[in-house]
């Protein structure tokens, strides 16, 4: 009896120890999750606010120009959607290469390299900016070839010349953001973005409404809004804001440029392929039946150059959230790879993807629940409301995909896989999505819905490929460490 009682006591004791271990393990997991979540939001929160502010600058400019005249608004929209978006795709995509190198260097505690990489990126992007200048100088013949009217072409040429300093600001704007973001010095970016948004609105009001400068007033205000945050960030960096990573200008910036060029060009191609792919929907919509109503419905989902009033871009605002999580994924992955911890990088990816997906479910559900009412916020037309309700399911699916796909692109940036994703984008977007959309558009007479479904199909396939490449391929898990330049 004694031995049996002793045995029972030992079993109970062992069970209690096992329960205690499980409880401790659960507490450890929750603690780890809480720590990673805080690290993620340190990057994602300010990144989202910054992108919302930058998006707001364009909204304000469009609103003021819309009150000047229809020709001016159409010309401004053409410059932004055709010329600026082309340049933006290149000059905004290229700093992703800087993000990869700086993130891994920061994780490896090679702090001095961040300033060197920043200077190399400035040199490389300045060269590409010089190649883009002729597009804006000779915008008139380019836009005529694209079928624009003489009035719009003349006005667009004037606006495009004003746009050159804004395009040049992109050389510094995004590189500085990446540089500061890697070090979690995001609040300076956020505060400057908020000040810029207020300043832009105030200056536009003074220059346009009070001084009557028209287009010139709006463009002067946009130029100020573009350069104020850059000047503020440079002052912060040069005068002690980044003592570990900025040690002054160095001749080392002119050496070993190839890694920066390789990653930056791959990043630019990757982003351009995505931007141009999304703009195809509007181009094909112009030739559809009942194009005016369809364009009005689409303008609530996207932007249309034919929309003569400023309307909320639901998909655009959703992407502002997604780009914030893209930044978080990139920073966290690159930092952990620089530290040599693939396991921590994998955990960071799971946390960012799960958080972005949970948040993405909210607009997805709202669009579906209020699909018959949303459009009345922007238009009193019953036809537009019906068209929007018809397109709302596709919009909801797009919003859900946008909560996952950009985050996976952020993982690619953090790991330095931009060239691989560029190839994936070419195949999935232009060999799968676009042909499928054209088939549904022309053969099955599905109009803009068919085109949009095909494009969603391409994005869905790309998302599946990136999920497989990141989560299911065991080889790539090891390559994340091997390919890091700071682990050799």
**Confidence at residue 165, expressed as pLDDT on a 0 to 100 scale:** 94
**Confidence at residue 237, expressed as pLDDT on a 0 to 100 scale:** 94
**Confidence at residue 220, expressed as pLDDT on a 0 to 100 scale:** 94
Mean pLDDT of 278-287: 55
Confidence of residue 305 (pLDDT cuts 50, 70, 90): very low
pLDDT tens-digit readout, 120-167:
889 888 888 998 899 999 988 888 887 777 888 888 899 999 999 999
**Confidence at residue 311, expressed as pLDDT on a 0 to 100 scale:** 38
Helical H segments across 139-257, by residue range = 139-145, 150-182, 186-204, 215-236
Quick check: 82 pLDDT over 90? no
Mean pLDDT of 107-115: 85
Mean pLDDT of 267-287: 63
Quick check: 364 pLDDT over 90? no
**Confidence at residue 309, expressed as pLDDT on a 0 to 100 scale:** 33
**Confidence at residue 475, expressed as pLDDT on a 0 to 100 scale:** 38
Which two three-digit tokens encode residue 474?
A: 């065991």
Mean pLDDT of 19-33: 73
CA atoms within 13 A on the CB side of 211: 15
Mean pLDDT of 349-377: 78
CB atoms within 10 A of CB 460: 17
| 379 secondary structure, DSSP code | -
**Confidence at residue 481, expressed as pLDDT on a 0 to 100 scale:** 47
Would you list the DSSP string of 15-80?
A: HHHHHHHHHHHHHHHHHHHHHHHHHHHHHHHHHHHHHHHHHHHHHHHHHHHHTT-HHHHHHHHHII
* Phi-psi domain of 116 (left: phi exceeds 0; alpha: psi -120 through 50; beta: other): alpha
**Confidence at residue 304, expressed as pLDDT on a 0 to 100 scale:** 38
Separation between Cα atoms, residue 115 and residue 110, nearest integer Å: 10
Least confident of 18-27, 199-208, 457-466: 18-27
* Cβ atoms 192, 114 nearer than 8 A: no
Question: How much is the pTM?
Answer: 0.73
Burial of 79 per CB tally in 10 Å (0-12, 13-18, 19+): buried
Quick check: 227 pLDDT over 90? yes
**Confidence at residue 296, expressed as pLDDT on a 0 to 100 scale:** 46
Confidence of residue 75 (pLDDT cuts 50, 70, 90): confident
Confidence of residue 7 (pLDDT cuts 50, 70, 90): low
Confidence of residue 223 (pLDDT cuts 50, 70, 90): very high
Burial 408-439 (b: 16+ CB within 10 A, else e): bbbbbbbbbbbbbbbebbeebbeebbbebbee
Q: What percent of the chain has pLDDT over 90?
A: 11
Which two three-digit tokens encode residue 358?
A: 């949970």
**Confidence at residue 39, expressed as pLDDT on a 0 to 100 scale:** 83
pLDDT tens-digit readout, 384-395:
667 667 777 877
Q: Which residue has the higher pLDDT, 246 or 282?
A: 246
CB atoms within 10 A of CB 205: 15
Q: Which residue has the higher pLDDT, 291 or 432?
A: 432
Confidence of residue 300 (pLDDT cuts 50, 70, 90): very low
Mean pLDDT of 345-355: 84
Separation between Cα atoms, residue 51 and residue 55, nearest integer Å: 6
pLDDT tens-digit readout, 154-203:
888 999 999 999 999 988 988 898 899 888 787 888 889 889 989 999 99
Quick check: 264 pLDDT over 60? yes
Mean pLDDT of 416-422: 74
Per the prediction, the chain carries an average pLDDT of 76
* Cβ atoms 298, 312 nearer than 8 A: no
- Which residues fall within 8 angstroms of residue 332, CB to CB, at 6 or more apart? 36, 39, 40, 43, 345, 348, 349, 352, 414
């Amino acid at each position: 009896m004694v031995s049996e009682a002793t045995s029972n006591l030992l079993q109970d004791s062992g069970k209690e120890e096992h329960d205690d271990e499980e409880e401790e393990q659960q507490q450890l997991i929750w603690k780890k999750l809480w720590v990673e979540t805080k690290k993620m939001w340190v990057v994602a929160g300010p990144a989202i606010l910054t992108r919302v502010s930058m998006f707001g600058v364009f909204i304000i400019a469009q609103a003021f120009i819309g009150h000047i005249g229809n020709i001016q608004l159409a010309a401004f929209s053409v410059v932004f959607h055709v010329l600026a978006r082309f340049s933006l795709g290149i000059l905004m995509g290229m700093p992703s290469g800087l993000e990869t190198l700086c993130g891994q260097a920061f994780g490896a505690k090679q702090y001095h390299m961040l300033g060197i990489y920043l200077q190399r990126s400035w040199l490389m992007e300045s060269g590409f900016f010089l190649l883009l200048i002729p597009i804006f100088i000779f915008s008139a013949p380019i836009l005529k070839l694209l079928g624009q009217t003489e009035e719009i072409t003349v006005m667009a040429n004037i606006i495009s010349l004003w746009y050159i300093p804004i395009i040049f600001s992109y050389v510094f704007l995004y590189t500085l953001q990446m540089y500061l973001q890697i070090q979690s010095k995001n609040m300076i970016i956020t505060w400057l973005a908020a000040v810029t948004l207020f300043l832009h609105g105030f200056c536009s009001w003074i220059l346009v409404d009070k001084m009557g400068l028209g287009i010139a007033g709006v463009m002067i205000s946009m130029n100020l809004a573009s350069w104020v945050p850059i000047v503020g960030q440079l002052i912060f960096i040069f005068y002690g804001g980044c003592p570990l990573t900025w040690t002054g200008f160095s001749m080392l910036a002119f050496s070993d440029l190839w890694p920066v060029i390789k990653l930056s060009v791959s990043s630019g191609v990757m982003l351009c392929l995505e931007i141009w792919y999304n703009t195809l929907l509007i181009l094909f919509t112009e030739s559809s039946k009942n194009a005016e109503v369809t364009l009005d419905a689409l303008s609530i989902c996207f932007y249309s150059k034919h929309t003569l009033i400023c309307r909320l871009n639901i998909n655009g605002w959703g992407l502002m959230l997604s780009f914030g999580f893209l930044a978080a994924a990139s920073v966290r992955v690159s930092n952990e790879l620089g530290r040599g911890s693939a396991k921590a990088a994998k955990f960071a990816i799971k946390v960012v993807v799960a958080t972005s997906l949970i948040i993405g479910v909210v607009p997805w559900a709202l669009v579906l629940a209020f699909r018959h009412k949303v459009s009345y916020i922007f238009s009193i037309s019953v036809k537009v409301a019906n068209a929007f309700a018809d397109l709302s399911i596709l919009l909801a699916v797009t919003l859900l995909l946008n909560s996952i796909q950009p985050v996976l692109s952020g993982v690619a940036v953090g790991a330095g896989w931009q060239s691989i994703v560029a190839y994936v984008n070419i195949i999935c977007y232009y060999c799968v999505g676009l042909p499928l959309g054209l088939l549904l558009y022309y053969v099955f007479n599905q109009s803009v819905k068919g085109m949009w479904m095909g494009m969603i199909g391409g994005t869905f396939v790309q998302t599946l490929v990136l999920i497989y490449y990141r989560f299911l391929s065991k080889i790539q898990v090891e390559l994340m460490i091997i390919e890091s330049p700071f682990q050799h």
